[in-house]
């Protein structure tokens, strides 16, 4: 969450709790402790309350240097999808679509492996011959495997969309830089 907030404030220009809520879906009550921690570390600075009690949030020089040098630390395996999405967005903001795609792909691979492990454990338990609590263990393993499979599909769908949008953006930039040159499939 810390790197996500630093990137949103420092690179995306979200400079208030309102902006963080409206643009990134973050709730002020949930990010308050993180904001206080970042402020105590002198990574962000919040202004005194102004009109309508709005406090501007700014990245300090130390915060900017920290974000630039250490953002990759948030690129690791997270058990919750929301953390994976935040980490991939930090990668997108800081290093571009390829890095975000790599982050999402790595998370999908880890989840695929965990789904296979859960399914393997479940296969040793035959639900027709289990005691009641053993059947519960089988149910949980099957549910975990299915949840992981669903997360893999979601992460790969997001990854593919990011890569497709990146490709479209590159094509648009190429066309904009050569407006007089016909593109493939275009006629004069």
Q: Is the pLDDT of residue 185 over 70?
A: no
Rounded Cα distance, 39 and 51, in Å:
21
Instruction: Using alpha carbons, select from 44, 38, 34 the residue that is nearest to residue 64.
Output: 44
Which residue's entry shows tokens 């900017």? 64
Rounded Cα distance, 64 and 72, in Å:
14
Asked if 110 contacts 27 with a C-beta cutoff of 8 angstroms, the reply is: no
Rounded Cα distance, 6 and 15, in Å:
10
Rounded Cα distance, 73 and 14, in Å:
22
Which pLDDT band, with edges at 50, 70 and 90, does 188 fall under? very low
Quick: pLDDT tens for 102-122: 999 999 999 999 999 999 888
Please tell me the predicted confidence (pLDDT) of residue 179.
64
> Into which CATH architecture does domain 2-48+55-74 fall?
Orthogonal Bundle (1.10)
* Cα 120 versus chain centre, distance: 29
Quick: pLDDT tens for 23-47: 888 887 888 888 889 999 999 898 7
Q: Is the pLDDT of residue 56 over 90?
A: no
Q: What is the DSSP letter of 8?
A: H
Quick: pLDDT tens for 159-183: 999 999 888 777 777 777 776 665 5
Asked if 6 contacts 67 with a C-beta cutoff of 8 angstroms, the reply is: yes
């Amino acid at each position: 969450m810390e790197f996500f907030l630093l990137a949103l404030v420092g690179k995306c220009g979200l400079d208030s709790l309102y902006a963080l809520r409206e643009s990134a879906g973050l709730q002020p009550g949930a990010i308050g402790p993180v904001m206080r921690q970042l402020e105590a570390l002198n990574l962000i600075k919040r202004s005194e309350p102004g009109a309508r009690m709005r406090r501007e949030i700014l990245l300090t020089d130390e915060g900017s240097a920290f974000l630039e040098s250490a953002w990759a630390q948030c690129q690791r395996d997270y058990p919750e999808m929301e953390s994976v999405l935040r980490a991939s967005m930090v990668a997108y903001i800081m290093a571009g679509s390829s890095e975000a795609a790599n982050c999402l792909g790595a998370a999908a691979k880890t989840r695929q492996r965990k789904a296979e492990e859960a399914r393997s454990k479940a296969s040793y338990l035959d639900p027709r011959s289990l005691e009641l609590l053993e059947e519960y263990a089988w149910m949980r393993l099957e549910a975990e495997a299915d949840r992981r499979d669903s997360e893999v599909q979601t992460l790969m769908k997001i990854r593919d969309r990011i890569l497709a949008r990146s490709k479209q953006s590159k094509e648009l930039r190429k066309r904009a830089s050569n407006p007089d040159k016909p593109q493939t499939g275009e006629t004069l």
